Chains A and B, each alone.
Chain A
Amino acid sequence: DAGVIQSPRHEVTEMGQEVTLRCKPISGHNSLFWYRQTMMRGLELLIYFNNNVPIDDSGMPEDRFSAKMPNASFSTLKIQPSEPRDSAVYFCASRTDSQEHTEAFFGQGTRLTVV
Chain B
Amino acid sequence: GNSVTQMEGPVTLSEEAFLTINCTYTATGYPSLFWYVQYPGEGLQLLLKATKADDKGSNKGFEATYRKETTSFHLEKGSVQVSDSAVYFCALPGSARQLTFGSGTQLTVLP
Which A residues contact B (CB, under 8 angstroms)? 4, 31, 33, 42-43, 45, 48, 50, 55-56, 91, 93, 95, 97, 100-101, 103-109
Q: Which 4 A-B pairs have the closest CB atoms?
A: A106-B43, A101-B32, A101-B51, A48-B98
A-B contact count (CB 8 A): 54
Q: Which residue of B lies closest to A104 (CB)?
A: B99
A101, B104: Cβ atoms closer than 8 Å: no
B25 at interface (Cβ–Cβ under 8 A)? no
A43, B98: Cβ atoms closer than 8 Å: no
- Can you sample 23 A-B contacts with CB below 8 Å? A31-B97, A33-B98, A42-B103, A42-B104, A43-B44, A48-B98, A50-B96, A55-B96, A56-B98, A91-B44, A93-B44, A93-B99, A97-B97, A100-B51, A100-B93, A101-B49, A103-B34, A104-B46, A104-B99, A105-B45, A108-B42, A108-B43, A109-B43
B73 at interface (Cβ–Cβ under 8 A)? no
**For residue A31, which residues in chain B have a CB less than 8 angstroms away from its CB?**
97-98
**For residue A50, which residues in chain B have a CB less than 8 angstroms away from its CB?**
96-97
**For residue A101, which residues in chain B have a CB less than 8 angstroms away from its CB?**
32, 49, 51
| Interface footprint category on B | 20 to 34
**For residue B43, which residues in chain A have a CB less than 8 angstroms away from its CB?**
4, 91, 93, 106-109
Least distance between A56 CB and chain B CB atoms (Å): 5
Q: Which residue of A lies closest to B49 (CB)?
A: A103
Which B residues contact A (CB, under 8 angstroms)? 31-32, 34, 36, 42-46, 49, 51, 89, 93, 96-101, 103-104
**For residue B34, which residues in chain A have a CB less than 8 angstroms away from its CB?**
103
B31, A100: Cβ atoms closer than 8 Å: yes
**For residue A45, which residues in chain B have a CB less than 8 angstroms away from its CB?**
98-100
**For residue A91, which residues in chain B have a CB less than 8 angstroms away from its CB?**
43-44
| Interchain CA distance A107-B42 in the complex, whole Å | 8
Least distance between A74 CB and chain B CB atoms (Å): 18
**For residue A103, which residues in chain B have a CB less than 8 angstroms away from its CB?**
34, 46, 49
